[in-house]
Amino acid sequence: MDTAQIKAYAPKARNDFIKAVTERAARFGIHGDNKFDTIEFKGDVAIIGTQVFSKKGGELRERLVTKVKQQGFEMFIRSNAYTWFNRFVAIRYMELHDFLDHGFRVLSNTNGSDIPEILEHATEVDLPDLDKEKVAELRLAGDKDNELYRMLVIAQCNALHKAMPFLFEEIDNEAELLLPDNLLHTNSPVRKMVTEIDENLWVDVEIIGWIYQFYISEKKDEVIGKVVKSEDIPAATQLFTPNWIVKYMVQNTLGRMWMATYPDSSLKTKMEYYIEPAEQDKTAPQDLNPEGLSFFDPACGSGHILVEAYDILKEIYLERGYRTRDIPRLILKKNLYGLDIDDRAAQLACFAVLMRARKDDRRLFGRDDLTLNIMSIVETPSIDDLFIDHSNFFQGDAYAEARTIMKKLLDLFSHGKTFGSLIQPPPDIAGKIDIVKAIVDEKLGNWFSKSDVLILKKLVDQACIISRQYDCVVANPPYMGSKGMNPLLKGFLKDNFPDVKSDVFSAFIIRNIAFTLPKGQLGFMSPFVWMFISSYEKLRKLLINEKTITSLIQLEYSGFDGATVPICTFTLENEYTTGYKGGYVRLSDFKGAAIQGQKALEIIQAARKTGK
């Protein structure tokens, strides 16, 4: 993909959205340094400073004030800016793929007009809870287009809540107050999204990852080379994985597992980066059930690896005779799992996977049993008070064990945004989390407010994901040496991963092995220092003497533009096989990142033709 336009647009968009959201916050009396204008409620109105709003608007504003006090003004603004940015990215992608039920574009017009189609056809648009009388009134007024368009955009976001609650919050959420003004202006951040990125670049969902990487690029430049604060770890470590490496890793883990059991499968013809194993003793299971295959990315970023896994799983289901319309729902519910410490990345990962599934099932958004097992990790300090305040609901012998497990989970995820998937639940609770999950899913809704129970549900759901094992674990883990670690992270690695404490990526290798079932498959993209440097000797011995390296590609020294270190990508089987003959590709003779994927493909295809 040619990313020049995205690279130029996304960093500017970040600043534009931050500015626009800051201006909206100021309109409601929310300012920097946690300063707030006074608010007074009088009957059906709220007076903020000298401005008058509806009572509902005042109540939503107070929710925003609470969040600013919890998060700090800068974090609050950044969070809401990227949330609205992500929403418009999602709407732009969906309108160009005709995924919106009403059939009109929301941000653009097929005839090239600056007036969005949804505004041109406002009286024809069918969206849930859209006030048709108000629409007609604003349309007839002739000078209320900005107000009408704002109303339509909010209605569109509300309509997408059911299918995408991770990105589009429920109706009457306070975030709607921060929707930027003047969306129809030619220099609005939304208009620039339409005019500065060609439509043809939106063909593949891969664009989502590139937009995210370039959106955070300026922040990454700010923090790189310094000791990184916990809240800046995503910006310092997120790196979009090249498409060819994603294909290689997924095809040689998930694809390899299927081929080992079904060597005559036609799946091989659809996996161009699959490295056929040499003739050797067969150790694969006799039978695999597609619905039982589990695939996990513990540092999923914007979902690139999960999307590729979806494609392979789809082929597996089709080969086994499943109905095409059933496959997307089954993959989302039963096969794919992902975690990340970055809320905005997890939003986009969910969206990217959902878009791939929607391509195969036009009715997907309306299905009641739509389930995604992809999420950002929540920290628990904000939950402690909630738990203490309502702990009487856990009193009594019936809830004794659940109460104990909940307390341990609260402690376990107290620094979840810093440690992420490296967190390891102790054995005494790992197998009992379902006890708490059953209570949260079925009973707590009667006791807590809806927002409270959703927080607890996220906590328990992430604990379930992080406590189990998977058939395949594939990741491009964060790269961060000890010089960049803050004291909290450095101490955690020293205590929990003493043999690989010098870099986060090597700790992830160890953790990912623990995530993987015996005989399961692992895939990594990582710095290649672990192959050569003495400080990685223990890791090297583990991988060589206790696991099986099934394949490895060593890139040329400057073979990856996004990384400041030389890279390799490799796959493992989670057991040791004596005398296993792996497949190895060395690209050191081919200079430059642009040709690495093509040269790897040529070598792999040549080996498949010759059988060597």
Query: Is the separation of the CB atoms in 315 and 270 below 8 Å?
Result: yes
Range in 197-206, 369-378, 513-522, 547-556 with the lowest mean pLDDT? 369-378
- Single out the residue of 76, 245, 243, 106 nearest to residue 174, CA to CA: 76
> Residue 443's pLDDT is what?
62
> Residue 169's pLDDT is what?
82
Higher pLDDT, 483 or 355: 355
> Residue 606's pLDDT is what?
93
> Residue 557's pLDDT is what?
81
Q: Which one of 3.30.70.3270, 3.90.1150.150, 3.40.50.150, 1.10.1740.10 gives the CATH number of domain 230-377+468-610?
A: 3.40.50.150
**Cα(198)–Cα(220) distance, rounded to whole angstroms?**
26
What is the arithmetic mean of pLDDT over 379-408?
Answer: 67
Range in 35-49, 110-124, 369-383 with the lowest mean pLDDT? 369-383
Range in 20-34, 327-341, 400-414, 555-569 with the lowest mean pLDDT? 555-569
Helix (H), strand (E) at residue 428? helix 427-430
**Cα(523)–Cα(275) distance, rounded to whole angstroms?**
13
- Tell me the C-alpha to C-alpha distance, in Å, between residue 537 and each of 24, 499, 557: 54, 9, 21
**Which long-range contacts link 45-51 to residues 24+ away (Cβ below 8 Å)?**
51/27
> Residue 385's pLDDT is what?
54
Range in 13-27, 270-284, 332-346, 351-365 with the lowest mean pLDDT? 270-284
Alpha helices in 45-124 (DSSP H): 55-71, 73-96, 117-120
Identify which of 124-133, 280-289, 551-560 has the greatest average pLDDT: 124-133
Question: Predicted confidence band at 392 (pLDDT cuts at 50, 70, 90)?
Answer: low
- How large a percentage of the chain has pLDDT more than 70? 91
> Residue 447's pLDDT is what?
56
> Residue 44's pLDDT is what?
94
Three-state DSSP class for residue 377: coil
Higher pLDDT, 74 or 240: 74
pLDDT in tens, 76-86: 999 999 999 99
The mean pLDDT value of the chain amounts to 90
pLDDT in tens, 272-318: 999 998 876 666 677 899 999 999 999 999 999 999 999 999 999 99
Strand order in the sheet with 516-527: 374-376, 336-340, 295-297, 470-475, 516-527, 567-573, 548-554, 583-586
Which residue type is seen at 227? Answer: V
Domain segments of the chain: what residues?
A: 4-203, 230-377+468-610, 381-414+424-466
pLDDT in tens, 492-511: 999 999 999 999 999 999 99
- What's the distance, CA 38 to chain centroid? 38
Query: Is the separation of the CB atoms in 13 and 189 below 8 Å?
Result: yes
